[in-house]
């Protein structure tokens, strides 16, 4: 009887181990992924083909509002292989981004920023860079955000600042 209990325990252990492996394997494959996402499709706003850019690394969508009442401008920028996109300074923007270690790092939540106003300009950059998703909102409302904007240089090629009064 002792060997039967041991064999039964081994079976239970084996079944438990196998079911755990299957559950973990299901989680690792991303059961929520669909064929459209794998094929570069997607829903608007996720940086997929529906937004006009692919899911490849180093593909970006840049939307800039000059803050002067004119309609926002939207450009695409692909720095994979030959530089492509509608960005007005695509070569310079890609070269600049490649030289930065973390171009899309957000301003830390605990950053102490100077109280200064750099202008009404805003921007949003979405897509992928270095294999990681990018969704960065930019403004010029304090010293940290002005520095963040300025650090991107030719990626945001619009006039900035505050118009003088009078």
Residue 9: pLDDT band with limits 50, 70, 90: low
Return the pLDDT at 160. Answer: 84
pLDDT at 24: 41
Give the per-residue pLDDT at 161: 77
- Tell whether 19 is covered by a domain: no
What share of the chain has pLDDT > 70, as a percent? 64
Q: Residue 103 is part of a domain; what is its CATH number?
A: 3.30.350
Sign of CA dihedral 30, 36, 39, 45: negative
Q: Which residues contact 45 (CB under 8 A, 6 or more apart)?
A: 51, 126
CB burial of 66-102 (b: ≥16 within 10 Å; e: otherwise) equals: bbeeeeebebbbbbeeebebebebbeebbebbeeeee
Judge residue 44's burial from the number of C-beta atoms within 10 Å of its C-beta, 0-12 exposed, 13-18 middle, 19 or more buried: exposed
Q: Indicate whether 66 belongs to any domain.
A: yes
Which letter does DSSP use for residue 49 in this model? G
pTM over 0.85: no
Question: Rounded to an integer, what distance in angstroms lies between the CA atom of residue 113 and that of residue 147?
Answer: 10
pLDDT digits (tens, 9 = 90+) for 91-106: 999 999 999 999 999 9
Q: What is the pLDDT of residues 67-94, one digit of tens each?
A: 999 999 999 999 998 999 999 999 999 9
Residue 58 lies in a domain: yes
- The mean pLDDT value for 49-74 works out to 81
Token pair of 49 as six digits: 């083909």
| 137/124 Cα distance (integer angstroms) | 4
Domain-located, residue 24: no
* Total of domains in the chain: 1
Lowest mean pLDDT among 41-55, 96-110, 151-165: 41-55
| Helical (H) or strand (E) element with 90 | helix 90-98
**Considering the domain boundaries, does residue 8 fall inside one?**
no
Range of the structural domain that residue 123 is part of: 46-155
Condensed to tens digits (0 to 9), the pLDDT of residues 96-142 reads 999 999 999 999 999 999 999 999 999 999 999 999 999 999 999 99
pLDDT at 6 over 80: no
């Amino acid at each position: 009887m002792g060997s039967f209990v041991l064999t039964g325990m081994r079976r239970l252990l084996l079944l438990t181990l196998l079911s755990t492996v299957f559950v973990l394997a299901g989680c690792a494959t991303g059961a929520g992924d669909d064929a459209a996402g794998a094929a570069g499709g997607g829903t608007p706003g996720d940086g997929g083909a529906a937004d006009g850019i692919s899911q490849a690394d180093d593909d970006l969508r840049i939307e800039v509002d000059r803050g002067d009442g004119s309609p926002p401008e939207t450009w695409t920028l692909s720095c994979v292989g030959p530089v492509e996109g509608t960005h007005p300074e695509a070569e310079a923007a890609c070269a600049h981004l490649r030289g930065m270690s973390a171009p899309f790092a957000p301003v830390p939540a605990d950053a102490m920023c100077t109280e200064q106003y750099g202008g009404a300009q805003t921007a949003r950059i979405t897509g992928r860079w270095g294999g990681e998703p990018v969704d960065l909102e930019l403004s010029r409302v304090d010293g940290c955000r002005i520095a963040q904007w300025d650090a991107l240089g030719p990626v945001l090629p619009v006039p900035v600042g505050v118009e003088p009064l009078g």
